Structure 1
């Protein structure tokens, strides 16, 4: 699984063909372990401390424009 970002001890990873368990586009986050929806930053599976979840949600927002330019 490729790592697409690392910050504050959080790894943001993405499987290319990972649509069997979660039908929504999402990223995997390793700090604890969680799957986070890309569209709204909600936790699909696992858990993260609230402070780390806020960092991941901020990361998603910062990179929102990157997603739009690729579609």
Structure 2
């Protein structure tokens, strides 16, 4: 599964041809969650409260890039990296 971004120890991934709604896969220190792109809310799984807040804000900031990647993934195209919340 392609990595879109890594910041503060948080790994953000997206699968090609994944099921709707548009979402990302987030991993952090043994926690895993599916996060909806347009709302930043956890659909499945669990993240520490602070990490969930960081991801929600990050999704809002990078929503257009995430949705562009979602559309690329649906067409099995190469996904673009996205700047992390730590500006790395």
Q: Same fold (TM over 0.5)?
A: yes
Separation in structure 2 between the aligned mates of residue 11 and residue 67 of structure 1, nearest angstrom: 14
Shift of 1:67: 4.6
Structure 1 runs of 4+ with >6 Å offset: none
TM-score normalised to structure 1 length = 0.84
Specify the alignment match of 1:50 in structure 2.
49
Specify the alignment match of 1:25 in structure 2.
22
Please report the RMSD computed on the Cα atoms of aligned residues, expressed in angstroms. Answer: 1.6
TM-score normalised to structure 2 length = 0.69
Separation in structure 1 between the aligned mates of residue 26 and residue 65 of structure 2, nearest angstrom: 18
Specify the alignment match of 1:2 in structure 2.
2
Separation in structure 1 between the aligned mates of residue 58 and residue 38 of structure 2, nearest angstrom: 12
SS in 1 for 2:54: helix
Separation in structure 2 between the aligned mates of residue 3 and residue 67 of structure 1, nearest angstrom: 12
Separation in structure 2 between the aligned mates of residue 7 and residue 67 of structure 1, nearest angstrom: 16
SS in 2 for 1:53: helix
